[in-house]
Amino acid sequence: MVRKLPIRLAAGSGPTFGVDDLACAAATHLGCWEDEGLDVTWTPVPGGVAAMQAVLENSVDVSYGGLGPVLRFRSDGEPVRIIVSMARALAQNLVTQKRLTSTDQLRGASWALDGFGALSHHMARLVVRALKISEDEIDWQSVG
C-alpha cells in the first residue's frame, strides 16, 4: 500500500464555499489529490489573512488567498510567497444598502471586509481614496 503525503490546506473562505474554492474543491471531488499521492485535509479559516497566519503558525501546510495578504505579510518581513495563481482578474464588488444613493453618504458608514490586510481591504482603501474620503471616516469591520 502506497503511503499518501498528508497536506493541511487552509481554505480562506471559512465554512462557506466561494469561487476561490473551485479549483481545490474540484481536485478534492474528482480524486486528483489522491491520484497524485496526497491526502489533503481542508481547514476553514475566515479570510486570506487568517489563512496566511495559519501557515506561519504551522497549523496548516499551505493556504490559498489573494494578493493582499501576501503583500501585508511580506511587508512585515514574513517568509510567504505566491507559488501559483489561478486569477485572471480581480473579482471585487461594492454592494451598498438601498438608502445610500450618493458616494458622499459613504462617510461614516460601516464597511465589511474579509479581514484587515486582505484584498478587499486594499481595494476598499483605494476606492475611498479615489472618492476623496478619509479612511478615518469609514467604520471598517472585519467579518471574515
**Residues 107 and 55 occupy one common structural domain:** no
Residue 43 in domain: yes
- Domain end (from 60, 75, 90): 75
Number of structural domains, the chain?
2
Residue 50 in domain: yes
Q: Which of 101, 97, 100, 110 is nearest to 138 (CA)?
A: 110
pLDDT tens digits, residue range 66-120?
Answer: 777 888 888 899 988 877 766 665 666 677 888 888 888 999 999 988 778 777 7
- Cα–Cα dist 66/52, whole Å: 10
User: Is residue 26 a contact partner of residue 32, using CB atoms and an 8 Å limit?
Assistant: yes
pLDDT tens digits, residue range 28-81?
Answer: 899 999 999 999 998 988 888 888 999 999 999 998 777 778 888 888 999 888
Residue 130 in domain: yes
**Residues 70 and 122 occupy one common structural domain:** no
Q: Specify the amino acid at residue 100.
A: L
Domain that residue 57 falls in: 5-75
Whether the pLDDT of residue 19 is over 80: the answer is no
